[in-house]
Structure 1
């Protein structure tokens, strides 16, 4: 059995999807959380000077998207056919687009531009994303996004929605008009291994 170590900061960020995938698959891994001097010492050892980094039997894999796809293939969370694999890829890329729009808001220095970016996320990015998820769910029987079992697509959607829902003052009533998306969120949240991980994450603060 391979030895896995995930190195990332002491936050959810771009490392959380990998953690959720390990949880979903019931696989052991070393969850290395770095900050400050420990990160600065580790940084020169990374392939590209950034995290997350997944180390598999001594081989480092960088880039969060590559890590997610590697784990999806490794753990059977990538669908059953090339089309299903590609549909998972589409969701990972779409979520990355959403994150990029969010970054424009979070990191804007000018208050006017920050307000404009926030309004765009609220009025355009999030509704467009939730409508897209709804359409895909309806076309796939309203259970999962790809096939009949959870995949990296479902877990990735859960991950980003989880962050939105954790910020109710910024995103109030996020899923009120999207019952199919709400059902998907709850379905992934209650997968036994994921629920166990989330319970531990919450208790750890």
Structure 2
């Protein structure tokens, strides 16, 4: 049996979609959480001085989206063909672009500046992002973003909208019924629900 270890900080962050993949697939793994105080010592042991790192039978694999894609292929969450896989990669790349755009807001420590950044992001980035993904979901018409069954892209997208609706802008999806229905549907899957209820409680 393959042994997996996922190494990341004690937060959801870039490792959470991979954790959701493990949870959905019902595959056991070691969820190693590195405290910030231990990072200087741990950093030189990682392939590129970054986390997360997935260890597969002791062999390291870095970069969060690469890890997600690898696990998706291993657990049957990578679509039916190359086209579906490419569309999944496309959507996950859009999520990554969105996270890069809102990163200054997460990073800012000054509350006044944080508010100003957020005001600009609402109209320029956040609302267009939500609207675009609502449209994609409506257009596909299956309740999933690619094809007619759940994929690793759905889990990555679920995480960002769950986090947005729960942490950043509570209730933000009320005006986007298909997205809200999607988030509620994924959150209600037994293995996902169990993980959400049992995972360490962190702010990000």
Matched, 1:161 2:161: yes
Tell me the SS of whatever aligns to 2:174: coil
For residues 57-96 of structure 1, what are the structure 2 equivalents within 5 Å?
57-96=57-96
Q: Which has the higher contact order (CA 8 A, sep 6+)?
A: 2
TM-score of the aligned structures, taking structure 1 as reference length: 0.90
Q: Which runs of 5+ in 1 are unaligned?
A: none
- Contact residue 101 and residue 117 of structure 1 kept, 8 A: no
* Shift in Å, 1:142: 4.3
Summarize deviations over 1:6-51 as a string: whole Å, max 9, x none: 0001111111111111001110000001114433322111011110
Aligned residues: 202
After superposition, residues 1-205 of structure 1 pair within 5 angstroms as 1-108=1-108, 114-167=114-167, 170-201=168-199
Q: Which of 144-153 and 114-123 deviates more?
A: 114-123
Structure 2: distance between partners of 1:153 and 1:91: 7
Runs of 5+ unmatched residues, structure 2: none
SS of corresponding position for 1:60: strand
Please list the CA deviations of residues 76-115 of structure 1 after superposition, one character each: whole Å capped at 9, or x if unmatched: 1111111110111011111111111111222246777644
Change in 2 beyond 3 A, CA 1:109/1:37 = closer
For residues 164 and 134 of structure 2, the distance between their equivalents in structure 1, rounded to whole angstroms, comes to: 17
* Deviation (angstroms), 1:120: 2.8
* SS of residue in 1 equivalent to 2:163: helix
| Structural RMSD (CA) | 1.9
Report the Cα offset of residue 144 of structure 1.
0.7
Is the CA contact (8 Å cut-off) linking 2:142 and 2:148 kept in structure 1? no
CA deviations 1:116-144 (Å, max 9, x no partner) are 43123211322212222122212221411
- With the length of structure 2 as denominator, give the TM-score of the two structures: 0.91
